[in-house]
Structure 1
Amino acid sequence: MRLLSEADRDTIRLAQDPGFTRWLEQITAIGGCAHPVYLSGSTITRDAYTGEALSAYSTADEPGERLAVRCRNRRATVCAPCSRLHAGDTFHLVRSGLTGGKTVPETVRDRPRLFVTLTAPGFGPVHRIADDDSPCRPRRDRPRCAHGTPLGCSLAHSEGDPLTGQPLCPACYDYPGHVLWHAHAGRLWDRFTTAVRRHLSSAAGIPRSRLGTHVVVSFAKVAEYQQRAAIHFHAVVRLDGPSGPGAAPPSWATPESLADAVRAAAASVTVRVPESAAYGAEALSWGAQLDVRPLRSFGDGAGVSDDAVAAYVAKYVTKGATDTAAGLDHQVSGPEDIRTARVSGHVRALMGTCWRLGGLPELEDLRLRAWAHTLGYRGHILTKSRRYSTTYAALRAERAEHQRTGAETAKEPHTVTEAAWRYVGSGHTPGAALIAAGIAEDLARNREIASEEIAHDFRGQQGHDT
C-alpha cells in the first residue's frame, strides 16, 4: 500500500473543507497565482449625502476570513500566471507609446522614433555562438594567456551549450570591472539621456535650458542580461513637440538628427568610480557595439516594426534570472549562499566579487552585497519617461474596473468608499500549490485554444475574401 505524500494529504484536507468551493473561486479569479497574498478587511460604499450604505464587502464570510490577491511578480520562474499578466501589461505600455492608445494619441506613429541597443564593454573573451555556426574563437597560432589557458576555441557552440557566455580564462576575466559597471549602469543611462538632449540642442542651435520649449525626448528602456551575464539596454527613443505626444516636433527634429545625437551621446558619456588598490581606477563607458534602428509602423517596409519591439520588450521584462544568467531571484545573506547557489561558475564568481567589493568602505554607497543576487545591477528592468505612455498602475486600474462586478454603484459620482485592509499571509500549502498549478495550466490551455480558433477563423476569412 502506497503512503500518501504530504501534498496528497493536504489536497484531501482542502477538498473536504466546507469553504473549498469558494477558495477555488478565489484562486481561479487570480489565475492560479503561485504565491498569492492574503488580505483581511472590508469595503463599504456610501451615498455621500445621506450616508446610506450602497454596497459592502467583508472577508468575514470568506474561507479563513481572508481574500487572495495576485503576487504580481514579473518573473516567470517565480509565478508564471502573474508573469504572463505582467508581460501583457508591458506589451501595451510599450506599444501605446509607439502606436497610440491608452490615452496616447495615434499620431505618435508619425514621430521620429528609434530602437536603440546599448551594450556593456568587454571584460574578457568568452565562449560565444557564431552567426554562421562557425567555430567560437578560431586561432591558428594557438596562443595561451599568462595562466596557460588557450585563448582560442575551435568548438561551434549552440543554444543551450553550458560553455556559452563563460570566460575562456576566469583568472584573466575582469570581474571587478564587470560588477562595477553593473552598479553604475543606471547612472550611465541617466548621463546618456542627458547627453542626447544636449547634442540635440547643440545641433539645433538652441540653449539646453530651452530645448523643452521646442521638443520633448521620451524613452522606454528594458534591461536584458546577455549570456555573458552582462546587462545591456534596449530602448525606444521618441521625439514629440513641447506639449508631449499630442504635438508634432519642429521640422529639424528628424530621425537622422536623433540618431546622430544617440551615437554621439553613447560615445561621449563616462562614469568614474573611486580609486582603490583592490580594483584600480575605473572610467566606465558603454561598449563598442551600438545598434540604432528606425522604427516603422505596420505596413511600412523599412526599420523594425512597432509590435515586434513591444513583444520583444515584454518577453525580456518577464524572463527569470535562471533563464538569463542574471543571478538569483532572491537576496543572499553571505558567502555560503553564494557557494551553494545553483548557478554557473561565472555567475558565482560575479556574485562573490559583489560580496568582496561590497566590504570596501569607498564602495559602501553601491550596496553591492545587497545586490549580489543581481550581479551588482540595482536598477529596474523597465523604466520610461513620464510622457512616453501610460503606467502599470493605470493599466491595472483599467483591468480592475473591467472585471469589477456591481460596478454601477462604484461609478456613481456622489459616493464615498471606506476601506480597511491588512496583510495576513502569503503563499500556498503543498496541496493548494498543486491545485493552483492545475488551474494555471487549464487557463493557459484555454488561451492557446482560443488563439488557435481566432487564427483559424482569420485564415478562413482571408481565403473567403480571396
Structure 2
Amino acid sequence: MTNPATFAGLDPVTLSDTLRVAGSPGFDRWQDQVRRTGGCADPVHLSGWVIHKDKTTGETLHHYSTEHEPGGRLRVACGNRRASRCPSCAWTYAGDTYRLIRAGLAGDEDKEIPATVRNHPRVFATLTAPSFGPVHNRPDHGRCRCGTRHASDDSALGTALDPETYDYAGSVLFNNHAGDLWQRFTNRLRREIAARAGLTQRELKECARLSYGKVAEFQKRGAVHFHAVIRIDGADGPDSAAPSWASTELLSDAIRAAADHSYTTVSVPASGDQPARTFRWGRQLDVRPVKAFGDGSDLTEQAVASYVAKYATKAAENTGTLDRRVGELAELDRHDVPDHARRLITACRHLDGLYPDRRLWAWAHMLGFRGHFSSKSRRYSTTLGTLRQARADFRAAQEREALALEDREPDTVLVLADWQYAGHGHTPGESALAATIARDLQANRETAREALAELHTEGEW
C-alpha cells in the first residue's frame, strides 16, 4: 500500500502519474522490482527471457520471461556511483569503497587480508592543488580578503576574488594532469623510502612494497586534490610483515620529501595563447598517522574509511558544474551554471583545441579531471569487482533456492538467455514512488545498524 505522504508536495502532472502507477494492475510487481534495485533512481530496462535446463536430460527446470512483467520489462540497478544521479546505487558504491579501504587498514579474513596489516606503518595523506589566484574563503581567524565573514553555505566560497586575473586555464590543466602528478609522486616516494632505509631501489623491492588507496575530491574552487591511505608492507604485500626499519615517522617524512621534490612535477608545453606551465602539489600537505582505536583526537581506521567512502560518490557537482558531459556551451545557460564553474568549463572548451590529446572538452563537466575518483595499488586490499561478484553470487544462491535448484550442481544446469536493452529511467510518478522506496530501505538499514551497534555495546554479538 502506498504511503499517503508520498503524494505530499507533488506537482499536478507528477501526482496524476503517481496515482496512475499506484492504481495499475502490475503495481505490486513493479514495487518488488524497484525494491530489488534498492530504489534505483534510473534503472536499466531489459526485455528477454532465461531458461534453466538439465544438461543430461534436457528437462526444462525453469523458464522466465519479461512478457508478463509490468510494461514487459525487468528493471535492474543502474550502478552509477554519483550520488547526484542515483543516491541508492551511490550508497552501494560507498559501502563497497568503505569495506575496501577498511580491509586495507584493519584486515578482513573474508577478503584474504590478515588482521596483522594494522601493524604496518600507515598514514592518511592529503595532497592539494596549488593556487591559481585568490578566492573567497573562511579563514580560521578573521575575515575573507574581500572583508566579509562568509557563512558556511555562502555560494561565493571558492569563487575568484578577481575573475579577470584568476588562472582558469591553469586550474583545469592541473586537474587534467593530476593523475600524472600522482604517479610521479608515488615513484618518488619509493625512492625517498629507499634512501631513508639505506637501500637501493632494487633492494627495496626485495623487502618492502608501497600500497595505497586514494580518492579524489574537488575543492569549492574547482581544483582537485587527493586523500590517500599509504602503507608500507613486506615484499609479499599485506600478508608479510613490514621491515623492521619501516615506521610511521619514516613514511611521513618520505611523503613530505616526495611531494616537495623537483621530480614530482608535470610540465605542460606552451600552445597558442597559453604559456608553458609546470605543475606541482600545493603547499597545504597534511600527513597523519592512522590509529586502530582513537582517544577522540586520533584519526581512526573507521573514520578514514568513512571519509574516503564519502567522497567516492561525489564528483565536481559541489562547484556548481554538471554531473554529465557537456554537449555545447548553451547547456550552461539552461542549467543555470554559476559563473566560476562556467569559466572553468569554457576554459576546457578553449584549451581542447590547443591540447587535443588531453580531451579537455570531453571532461569539461569534471573541470578537466579525467582520472578515476577512487583507485588503489594492486596489493592494497580487495577489489571493487570482487565485492560486486560476492554480492552477485549471494543473489544467485538466493535465486537457486527460490527456484528449488540449490541441490543441483551448477555445472549440471544449462542456462540459456536472451536479453535486450529496452530503455532506462522512470516516469515522473514512478520517480516519486521509487524515491519513497529508497527512503524506506535507507531507514530500515539505519535501524538495523543501530540495533547491531547496541548488540556490540552490550556484548551480545
**TM-score clears 0.5:** yes
Provide the residue aligned with 1:11 in structure 2.
18
Provide the residue aligned with 1:289 in structure 2.
284
Provide the residue aligned with 2:326 in structure 1.
332
Bigger mean CA deviation after superposition, 218-227 or 250-259: 250-259
Paired residue secondary structure (2:222)? coil
Among residues 29, 34, 41, which one is paired with 2:48 in the alignment? 41
Provide the residue aligned with 2:338 in structure 1.
344
Paired residue secondary structure (2:319)? coil
Change (3 A) 1:210 1:48: farther
Find out whether 1:71 has 2:78 as its counterpart: yes
Q: Superposition RMSD on alpha carbons, in Å? A: 2.4
Paired residue secondary structure (2:349)? helix
- Deviation of 1:316 after TM superposition, in Å, equals 1.2
Provide the residue aligned with 1:230 in structure 2.
223
Find out whether 1:353 has 2:350 as its counterpart: no
Provide the residue aligned with 1:111 in structure 2.
120
In 2, distance between residues paired with 1:120 and 1:421? 46
* Mapping 1:67-466, distance limit 5 Å: 67-101=74-108, 102-132=111-141, 134-137=142-145, 153-268=146-261, 269-299=264-294, 303-319=298-314, 321-322=316-317, 324-325=318-319, 327-360=321-354, 363-404=355-396, 405-407=398-400, 409=405, 412=409, 414-415=411-412, 416-454=414-452, 461=458
The letter for the 2-side match of 1:350 is L
Change (3 A) 1:204 1:56: farther
Change (3 A) 1:111 1:455: closer
In 2, distance between residues paired with 1:424 and 1:373? 27
The letter for the 2-side match of 1:208 is Q
The letter for the 1-side match of 2:300 is S
- Deviation of 1:65 after TM superposition, in Å, equals 2.9
Change (3 A) 1:17 1:457: same
- Deviation of 1:24 after TM superposition, in Å, equals 1.3
Change (3 A) 1:136 1:197: same
The letter for the 1-side match of 2:161 is L
In 2, distance between residues paired with 1:198 and 1:57? 58
- Deviation of 1:457 after TM superposition, in Å, equals 6.5
- Deviation of 1:190 after TM superposition, in Å, equals 0.9
Query: Deviation per CA, 1:55-104, whole angstroms, max 9, x where unpaired?
Result: 44433332233211111112222111112222111111111111111221
Change (3 A) 1:342 1:209: farther
The letter for the 2-side match of 1:414 is D
- Deviation of 1:302 after TM superposition, in Å, equals 7.3
In 2, distance between residues paired with 1:155 and 1:421? 59
In 2, distance between residues paired with 1:373 and 1:318? 15
Query: Deviation per CA, 1:362-408, whole angstroms, max 9, x where unpaired?
Result: x0001111111111111111011121111222212222333442445
* Residue pair 1:36, 1:70 contacting (<8 A) in 2 also: yes
In 1, distance between residues paired with 2:205 and 2:27? 58
In 1, distance between residues paired with 2:48 and 2:209? 44
In 1, distance between residues paired with 2:47 and 2:378? 34
Change (3 A) 1:15 1:378: same
* Residue pair 2:217, 2:315 contacting (<8 A) in 1 also: no
In 2, distance between residues paired with 1:335 and 1:302? 47
In 2, distance between residues paired with 1:78 and 1:301? 35
- Deviation of 1:458 after TM superposition, in Å, equals 6.4
* Residue pair 1:241, 1:247 contacting (<8 A) in 2 also: yes
* Residue pair 1:225, 1:326 contacting (<8 A) in 2 also: no
* Residue pair 1:296, 1:302 contacting (<8 A) in 2 also: no
- Deviation of 1:207 after TM superposition, in Å, equals 3.4
In 1, distance between residues paired with 2:115 and 2:90? 28
Paired residue secondary structure (1:370)? coil
The letter for the 1-side match of 2:149 is A
- Deviation of 1:52 after TM superposition, in Å, equals 4.8
Query: Deviation per CA, 1:121-147, whole angstroms, max 9, x where unpaired?
Result: 001111111224x2123xxxxxxxxxx
Change (3 A) 1:136 1:259: same
The letter for the 2-side match of 1:354 is C
* Residue pair 2:104, 2:117 contacting (<8 A) in 1 also: yes
In 2, distance between residues paired with 1:339 and 1:406? 48
Q: Any gaps of 5 or more consecutive residues in structure 1?
A: 138-152
Q: Any gaps of 5 or more consecutive residues in structure 2?
A: 1-10
The letter for the 2-side match of 1:312 is Y
Change (3 A) 1:390 1:56: farther
Paired residue secondary structure (1:414)? helix
* Residue pair 1:130, 1:157 contacting (<8 A) in 2 also: no
Query: Deviation per CA, 1:228-258, whole angstroms, max 9, x where unpaired?
Result: 1111100000111111111112112222222
The letter for the 1-side match of 2:430 is A
The letter for the 2-side match of 1:308 is A
In 2, distance between residues paired with 1:84 and 1:251? 40
In 2, distance between residues paired with 1:447 and 1:162? 33
In 1, distance between residues paired with 2:297 and 2:200? 33
In 2, distance between residues paired with 1:166 and 1:377? 18
Query: Deviation per CA, 1:338-359, whole angstroms, max 9, x where unpaired?
Result: 3444332111111111111112
Change (3 A) 1:279 1:104: same
Among the aligned pairs, what percent are the same residue?
A: 49
Paired residue secondary structure (1:191)? helix
